[in-house]
Homo-oligomer: A and B are copies of this chain.
Amino acid sequence: MIDLDLIGKNSRKAFERLSQTDGAARKAATFAIAAELEACADEVLEANQKDIEAAHFTGLTPSLIDRLTLNPQRLAGMVEDLRRLAELPDPIGERFDERTLPNGLRLWRQRVPLGVLGVIYESRPNVTIDVSGLAIKTGNAAILRGGKETIQSNLALVKVIQTALQRQGLPQECIQFISDPDRAIVEQMLRLNKYIDVIIPRGSNALHNFCREHATIPVITGGIGVCHLFVDSDADLEKALPLIHNAKTQRPSVCNSLDTLLVHKSIAPKFLPQVVQYLGSAGVTFKADAQASGLLDDARVTPAGPDDFDTEWLSLMLGLKVVGDLDAAIEHIRLHSTHHSDGILTETAEHADRFIREVDSAAVYVNASTRFTDGAQFGLGAEVAVSTQRLHARGPMGLPELTTYKWVGVGDYFSRK
């Protein structure tokens, strides 16, 4: 039985040490993890091979096995990402909102790390490296809990990280990994508010709900994207087709891929068959509402069931719906969006403005693919998660979103009036 309280205590202590390092030390540590990962590629791949064999043995689906599979190319990508991350500007220590109050008190906010992150995730082993790199770079400690399907890979990766930290003279407890597969451990971890500052789940809706349900620590939820594009009556349809194709097919298994296409009724008869033709040839199949179905006679189109417009497809499926106008489109999004990424394709500035103002999602687009919602795309360097809740950090959580601030006031023996 692991001693979670001790893990928490050690994490806090490691954080206190890490939070006192300067940007150069954290940059060097991030580079060191990259170098160690490069040097230990064989060990990591060997460990991963064991996970793959176990996955075959337990009969995981090919797509799940693909998610947990590492290979030299994927490892090289992880190393490269770490090096790019290491080079990013250091957010810690930045002073902002500096001011001198009428009484002469000099006051500013100074950026500090969030603290100890509790990250709970499933299958993909690259999360172990991504999250650890982001944490170290921004001065945060992390307690990681990965899925049991990738336990061997994760143990190998955590060893890489801890070796690199130690070489840099940093406590290896900056990154700790819980390998005990007992789910009760997760429940305990969610109640470790004495040591953990924020819980970041990465995985299914069920995992997010479990965390919300059991945590005594604030949970950053997100990563579930039922994403919409609305094609307005005056959209440039020729340009719209490749954009929709991009949003749906570029990487269907991720949260920012398109789930539902809403089409203005005046262009639906012409445009919907084009959509089915254009995306169908890329292997996309469709769930259409009654009105859209009536306009389409194609084996790839089946009628949408009651839950289909609330489904994050994560596959080459696309929902199709005809709407009467912008209001109806916004109302559909209000009822069915998970507030991740939604967009409008229009030539009418007033419609674009209304869509931006009224659609309450972490990312709102005009004439752009929902696929852009991503920390690296947004210039945040990387991301630890995409938050879809309405806390202070919303959308892709990159480096700045892994920080908070302290207020600093400097005076000349000032008392309050």
Which residue from B115, B247, B408 sits with its C-beta under 8 Å from A364? B408
- Whether A367 contacts B406 by the Cβ 8 Å rule is no
A409 in contact with B115 given A107-B378, A218-B219 (CB within 8 Å): no
Which residue from B358, B372, B396, B409 sits with its C-beta under 8 Å from A416? B372
A369 in contact with B404 given A193-B212, A379-B101, A391-B392 (CB within 8 Å): no
Chain B residues positioned under 8 Å from A217 (CB to CB): 212
Chain B residues positioned under 8 Å from A409 (CB to CB): 343, 363-366, 368, 372
- Whether A362 contacts B407 by the Cβ 8 Å rule is yes
A352 at interface (Cβ–Cβ under 8 A)?
Answer: yes
- Whether A372 contacts B240 by the Cβ 8 Å rule is no
A105 at interface (Cβ–Cβ under 8 A)?
Answer: yes
Chain B residues positioned under 8 Å from A361 (CB to CB): 406
- Whether A243 contacts B415 by the Cβ 8 Å rule is yes
A389 at interface (Cβ–Cβ under 8 A)?
Answer: yes
- Within A346-391, the residues touching B (CB, 8 Å) are 352, 356-358, 360-369, 371-373, 377-379, 389-391
A382 CB to closest chain B CB (Å) equals 16
Q: How far is the CA of A115 from the CA of B368 in the complex (A)?
A: 26
A320 at interface (Cβ–Cβ under 8 A)?
Answer: no
Q: How far is the CA of A356 from the CA of B406 in the complex (A)?
A: 9
Chain B residues positioned under 8 Å from A218 (CB to CB): 218-219, 389, 391
The list of the 5 closest CB pairs from A to B, nearest first, reads: A246-B415, A368-B411, A392-B392, A239-B413, A218-B218
